[in-house]
Structure 1
């Protein structure tokens, strides 16, 4: 196996060295691709030092050396990668020693196009733990049981009940499988572009479970995590998720192979977040409208804990 590990780097000078070293521990990691995204801190200097020190570390920036977001940075890394497999790692996260144990066996089967696993949590400071422990605690982010590849996409969009989820840090994909995608990461999504990517990837490719009952990578939580600020409510979650589901709805409507039942489900989830994000009077007008016109849209939303928090 020749694995290219792609690390987008923004405002991560304190953490990126740990991320890189956690990837370099594996012989299968052919290269670590750092994509520095015009960080306001000294991350570029740290990245240059890492590239000089380690032959397998390669440093890239966007052609204009500007800031383009995690999605565009990962896309640049994918295009630059020369390995047969692609793995991802955020600059403030890190891999554990068992990261590719399942991949070594599963990828012997040519039908396996991607492998996903579980991730754990590490708090980089006591302050971060105080702020975010009530959200993440010490729980695994994982899929709760082994599922056939055909059930992964319906599971991720919420059609398989208590399915769980997996992080991009715990995904390894054959690079050739990405040719099936309609597009790589959506660059106009500032948040949740990885979630959008994983859902579309699950539709087009065959993803298999790896290690689900223990972490293969760790999410590093600190005070300036952008996604932690969404999860904690500092950034209004419905306003970011409505954009995610709008993208998914638009994609699903234009995908000729999308089953009708799955398209309708995506539309209903999008509507539920639209309602949650609407001003007070409009919100209740939309609730009444869909109670009459499409009760399942409201019911789908009411089963979603984030929707309930926003609505009530």
Structure 2
């Protein structure tokens, strides 16, 4: 196997060396691609030192040397990659020794286009644990049981809570399948660009479970995590979910092969989080509007009204 590990780097001077070295421990890793995204700290210098130190490390920036976000940085990494497989790693996370154990066997089958594994949690300080333990606890980010690849997309869309979710850090993709079959790579979203990408990826590619009952990589939680701060802020999740489901609906509405009931479900999720994010006085007006607009969907049994009412409080 020749795996290209893509690491977008922003404000991670303290952590990026550990991330890189955790990837280089694996013989399957053909190259580690760092995409430095105009960090305000000394991340660029740290990346330059890593490129000098290790032959397998390659450093890139965006052509204009400006900040573009994690999604476009991963896209640049994919573009620059030369391995047969692509894996991802955040600059403040790290791989474990078993990271590619399942991949080495599963990818012998040419029908396997992607493999996903479980992500654990590492608190870098007691302060970080105190702040964010209620959000992550010591739980695995994983799909809870093994599923056929055709069940992954509807499972993520319809039953995200009970189905589970895998992380980019635990995902390995056949590069040829990614380039040929996924119409658009990462979108330039400020939040949830990874989840939106995983939705689309699981529709276009056959993704298989690898090691899902123990961690293959670790999420590094510290006080300055951008996403952690958003997810732990009670005022923000509804806003961020509106962004996620808006982008997901923008995709599915034009995808002719996606069943209508899934499109309706995604539209419901989009509107539900819009309602949750609306001022209290607007909530009932929005609910009444959507009840009228979606009467036929409700009548047909494809729409769950109770979900809406649960968002009023």
Q: TM-score, normalised by structure 1?
A: 0.94
Matches within 5 A, 1:273-284: 273-284=273-284
**Cα distance, 1:141–1:160 mapped onto 2, change above 3 Å:** closer
CA separation in 1, counterparts of 2:204 and 2:37? 29
Residue 285 of structure 1 and its aligned partner are, at CA, apart by 1.3
> What per-residue deviation string (whole Å, max 9, x for no partner) do you get for residues 247-304 of structure 1?
110100011111111111111111111111112211221123345545535434567x
> What per-residue deviation string (whole Å, max 9, x for no partner) do you get for residues 12-71 of structure 1?
000000000000000000000000000000000000000000000000000010000000
**Cα distance, 1:234–1:20 mapped onto 2, change above 3 Å:** farther
Query: Pairwise CA RMSD of aligned residues?
Result: 1.5
Q: Which residue of 1 aligns with 2:27?
A: 27
Q: Which residue of 1 aligns with 2:187?
A: 186
CA separation in 1, counterparts of 2:221 and 2:59? 24
Q: Which residue of 1 aligns with 2:47?
A: 47
> What per-residue deviation string (whole Å, max 9, x for no partner) do you get for residues 199-235 of structure 1?
0000000000000100000000011111111221166
- Aligned residues of 1:9 and 1:43 also touching (Cα < 8 A): yes
CA separation in 1, counterparts of 2:121 and 2:305? 33
Q: Which residue of 1 aligns with 2:68?
A: 68
Matches within 5 A, 1:1-312: 1-159=1-159, 162-178=162-178, 179-187=180-188, 189-233=189-233, 236-291=236-291, 293-294=294-295, 296-301=303-308, 308=311, 311-312=312-313
Q: Which runs of 5+ in 1 are unaligned?
A: none
- How many residues end up aligned between the 2 structures? 305
CA separation in 2, counterparts of 1:18 and 1:137? 23
Larger CA deviation: 294-303 vs 17-26 = 294-303
Q: TM-score, normalised by structure 2?
A: 0.94
CA separation in 2, counterparts of 1:43 and 1:102? 32
Q: Which runs of 5+ in 2 are unaligned?
A: none
In structure 2, the residue corresponding to 1:92 is in which secondary structure? coil
In structure 1, the residue corresponding to 2:163 is in which secondary structure? coil
> What per-residue deviation string (whole Å, max 9, x for no partner) do you get for residues 137-193 of structure 1?
101111110000001001111247710111010000000111211200001x11100
CA separation in 2, counterparts of 1:195 and 1:253? 18
CA separation in 1, counterparts of 2:153 and 2:102? 21
